[in-house]
Amino acid sequence: IGLGHALWCHNMLHAFGMYDTAKSRYKNLVSEGKKWNKKKSYEENMKKIGGGNPMRAPDDSIDLDKVLSGHYDSKLAAKRVTEIHQLLGTLDKGLDKAERKKRGWDEAYDLRPWNEFPDTENASLSTVVLANLTRGILGNGGGPTK
């Protein structure tokens, strides 16, 4: 199973509140796990799993105590893997915005720019070229503080 991946998703969620990112990354483990056939060998199963993250999410058939026997804090790791699987392990839509906010995982800041190219209504080809050639010193200005 993808222990490191599951614990990374747990840390993303609980340290930074990155619910959507953790959910989208964890769903890769869940979807790869659906390809796993318990009747086949490890090698046969690995041939079916993609190369980007060749692991799967935990399921009830896996003994986490045995898997984590060499971990320095196996009880805490098992608790976190189980918790993250309960939170993110389904392929449904997940928690709604109200539930995320209640847990402190609401969207804090959107890093997308306001416009792809600000002040497009006053732009002309010559001012755009001039702005690009002079690295914004001359030509069309713009942006959210204009």
33-49 tens-digit pLDDT:
777 778 888 788 777 77
Higher per-residue confidence, 138 vs 97: 97
Q: What's the CA gap between 13 and 21, in Å, rounded?
A: 8
Tell whether the model's pLDDT for residue 11 goes beyond 90.
yes
Per DSSP (E only), the strands in the chain are: none
Tell whether the model's pLDDT for residue 53 goes beyond 50.
yes
CB 88 within 8 A of CB 64: no
> Residue 134 in 3-state DSSP?
coil
pLDDT of residue 26: 85
* Token pair listed for 28: 């890769």
State the average pLDDT over residues 99-115: 73
pTM, rounded to two decimals: 0.64
CB 127 within 8 A of CB 140: yes
* Token pair listed for 116: 């792809």
pLDDT of residue 46: 78
Tell whether the model's pLDDT for residue 143 goes beyond 60.
no
